[in-house]
Amino acid sequence: MEHLAIRTLGALKKSGYQPKSLKEELRGNLLRALQEKREVFHGILGYEHTVIPDLERAILSGHQINLLGLRGQAKTRLARMMTRLLDEWVPVLEGSELNEDPMLPLLDESRKRIEEHGDATPIVWMHRNERYVEKLATPDVSVADLIGDVDPIKASNLKIPYSDPRAIHFGLVPRSHRCIFVINELPDLQPRIQVALFNILQEGDVQIRGFKLRMPLDIQFVFTANPEDYTNRGSIVTPLKDRIGSQILTHYPKNIETSMAITRQEAKLSQTQEAHVKVPELLSLLMESIAFQARQSEFVDQKSGVSARLSISVFENVVSAAERRMCIAGDANTTLRIIDLYAAIPAINGKIEMVYEGEQEGPYNVAVSLIIQSIKSVFGTYCPLEGKSRKGDKKPLDPFREVVRWFGDGALLELPYELNEKEYSEKLEQVPGLRDLAEKYFPGAVGEKTLPAMELILHGLASISRLSRTQTDGSLQFADLIGSMLGSRHSGDESENA
């Protein structure tokens, strides 16, 4: 940190400082990180062998970069993390609105100031966190916003003609000299605005109101975009795309384990929730499976994508539902239940875009359908959906026959949402053979850990039409499927049979 004491151009020269371009800076620091086995893009899970190596190769090549992918694929986070590859501090000519290097001034006015003050020219130091500029592309962004415009008031105050470069008010791009400049959702930028970036990316000059300024701006551009066929909002014009050195495709997690790790890393839980609400692995799997089901649902617009934020919001909502129940029931601690998944419906509704069929079905019904499909998928992973025949038997053995028979004899199991832990356990233990099934098919289901597995079996049997599941305002009811169907003709209750 001794260099921060250097405050003049002369002292900077004596220190042995040598200017280097931004891309050289990024490249050199990345090479050192790779050699030292330091992880630059820490916390970005699932990209270790795909996106991150592509991004590192683009940086080493000195390319401008476009991160192309659906929403919720960490594109902006990757761009922000690139600041870790910048030098911690760089010298800047004091008072420069373009972050000029004291030894490589851009503007005539800066050169004149250096000629006038010589080695006494004051400098300041700029931290790498200040060298990141981000702009969301919207249709109302103008050339003046990005590049700049002639400022009549400035010209009047300085008593100079409009043709004088000093009359220009510079936009975001020139002010991002020696910075990483990110434009999010690039296709949303009007084509005429994209055209304004051509010369900056390749020739290093700026055109404002017919005046052409030769300014070798040193900027690392990072663009983010959804695939061009996502909507009809716009596209990246071909000449601009041609000037972008690397287009890197991002993706959603390729397996559910990675997705679960991302959710647990990103979910924001309070200290109370962390301490008093237990999240069984089975529930994590169920919650994560909702996003995977949405990414293949016929009701969801797959071109829009299903963001990783869906899983995060579902996780936070379900944990909050358990915490609320814990407080109402007066329990000191609680464990997530399958029934808590229905508390995630508001989180699901806000994170998916539906096709016409989904709109006709309705957001609520689509969300319930995704939860049921998630339950069915996980249930099928652990439990046999069909029995196996014993040698010499004509009919396959049904592992769930004891449970189904109990309901077939007229039994009804009601699980209110706000049951305390003791009552919840007692309710599930009423069903004969249910605990044995949970211990048989779910590894590690011992003691309290058995309860979520027991409840999942009931929901799973309903999802494959072995039981009836009826949802009321305050509870779920499980009953015999045939009896429930006959009874529903004389009842006003809304039945949800999967």
In order, the DSSP letters of 166-225 are GGEEE-HHHHTTTSEEEEESGGGS-HHHHHTTHHHHHT-EEEETTEEEE-----EEEEEE
As beta bridge partners, residue 248 has 67
Which two structure tokens, joined as six digits, stand for 53? 């190596």
Which two structure tokens, joined as six digits, stand for 46? 């699932």
pLDDT of 229: 47
CA 314 vs. chain centroid, Å, equals: 13
Q: Which residue has the tokens 């609320």?
A: 324
**Average model confidence (pLDDT) across the chain:** 87
Backbone angles phi, psi at 38, to 5 degrees: -85, 140
Of 262, 289, 209, 277, the closest CA to residue 45 belongs to 262
Say what the pTM is. Answer: 0.85
Backbone angles phi, psi at 400, to 5 degrees: -105, 10
b/e per residue 369-384 (b: at least 16 CB within 10 A): bbbbbbbbbbbeebbe
Range name among 152-156, 314-318, 449-453 with the lowest pLDDT average: 152-156
Of 57, 54, 67, the closest CA to residue 31 belongs to 57
Q: What is the chain's Cα-based Rg?
A: 31
Of 49, 80, 63, 222, the closest CA to residue 137 belongs to 222
pLDDT of 489: 46
Interval 206-216 mean pLDDT: 69
Q: Which residue has the tokens 């924001």?
A: 268
- Sign of the dihedral through C-alpha 86, 82, 183, 248: positive
Kindly indicate the confidence band of residue 390, based on its pLDDT and cuts at 50, 70 and 90: very low
As beta bridge partners, residue 413 has 478
Q: In what order do the strands lie in the sheet with 180-184?
A: 132-136, 180-184, 220-225, 65-68, 246-249
- pLDDT, tens only, 63-76: 999 999 998 999 99
Q: Which residue has the tokens 């300014």?
A: 215
Distances (CA, A) of 167 to 99, 108, 170, 171, 214: 18, 13, 9, 13, 16
Of 482, 314, 350, 346, the closest CA to residue 407 belongs to 482
Who wins on pLDDT, 167 or 493? 167
- pLDDT, tens only, 230-274: 444 568 888 888 889 999 999 999 999 999 999 999 999 999 999
* Residue 17, number of CB atoms within 10 A of its CB: 18
**How many CA atoms within 13 Å lie on the side-chain side of 206?**
25
Tell me, what DSSP letter sits at residue 416? E
Return the axis-axis angle of helices 256-266 and 281-294, rounded to nearest 10°.
110
Helices (H), 356-495: 356-361, 363-382, 401-408, 421-429, 434-441, 450-463, 481-488
pLDDT of 458: 96
Kindly indicate the confidence band of residue 11, based on its pLDDT and cuts at 50, 70 and 90: very high
- pLDDT, tens only, 425-453: 999 999 999 999 999 999 876 666 799 99
pLDDT of 130: 95
Q: Where are the domains of the chain?
A: 2-249, 256-382, 401-488
Fold adopted by 2-249? Rossmann fold (3.40.50)
Which two structure tokens, joined as six digits, stand for 389? 């025949």
- Would you tell me which CATH number, out of the four given (1.10.3470, 1.10.8, 3.40.50, 1.20.1530), belongs to the domain 256-382? 1.10.8
The contacts of residue 447 (CB under 8 Å, 6+ apart) are none
Q: Which residue has the tokens 């004291």?
A: 102
420 by DSSP, 3-state: which? coil
pLDDT of 305: 87
Residue 114 CA to residue 105 CA, distance in Å, equals 9
Please say whether the beta carbons of 441 and 400 come within 8 A.
Answer: no
- pLDDT, tens only, 336-379: 999 999 999 999 988 899 998 989 999 999 999 999 999 999 99
